[in-house]
């Protein structure tokens, strides 16, 4: 589950999930919902993302930066996602995203950067929680 938070000159959202996999999946959908009109995006193209980091916060931060890079360079937005996370010294997230090509009329806003401003990922009694700010 994700919800958008009012933030001056940026997009901010919180994500709460029962697992790290679901946290990444929901953060991915928050990202795409903020920047693309998902109702007009098809799901005929598939991309795969692999990110490896030493902590859950940098894992999500790196993951979102990969999404931003693909959004900007491949003009891709996703509608469905499946993520698997493994921990063995480092944390590795592998994901498959189904979506389609963006055209100008399918873009809601242009993201500039994933920021570290108030960025956090934390383990809670119910699972995981994250707060993300994206510069627009």
Q: Going residue by residue through the chain (136 aa), what tens digit of pLDDT does each one get? A: 888 877 666 899 999 999 999 999 999 999 999 999 999 999 999 999 999 999 999 999 999 999 999 999 999 999 999 999 999 888 999 999 999 999 999 999 999 999 999 999 999 999 999 999 999 9
pTM as predicted: 0.92
Instruction: Write out 19-68 in H/E/C secondary structure.
Output: CHHHHHHHHHHHHHHHHECHHHCCCCEEEEEEEEECCHHHHHHHHHHHHH
Domains recognised in the chain with CATH numbers: 2-103 (3.55.10.10)
Give the full edge-to-edge strand order of the sheet including 76-88: 45-53, 90-101, 76-88
Give the pLDDT of residue 88. 82
> Please, what is the angle between helix 20-35 and helix 56-73, to 10°?
30
Give the pLDDT of residue 7. 65
Strand partners, 82: 96
């Amino acid at each position: 589950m994700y919800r958008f938070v009012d933030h001056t000159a940026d997009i901010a959202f919180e994500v709460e999930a029962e697992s790290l996999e679901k946290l990444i999946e929901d953060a991915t959908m928050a990202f795409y919902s903020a920047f693309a009109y998902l109702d007009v995006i098809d799901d005929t193209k598939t991309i795969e993302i692999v990110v490896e980091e030493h902590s859950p916060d940098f894992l999500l931060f790196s993951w979102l930066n990969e999404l931003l890079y693909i959004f900007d360079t491949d003009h891709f937005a996703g509608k469905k996602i499946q993520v698997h996370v493994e921990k063995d010294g480092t944390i590795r997230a592998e994901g498959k995203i189904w979506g389609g090509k963006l055209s100008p009329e399918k873009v809601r806003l242009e993201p500039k950067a994933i920021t570290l401003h108030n960025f956090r990922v934390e383990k809670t009694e119910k699972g995981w929680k994250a707060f993300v700010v994206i510069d627009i």
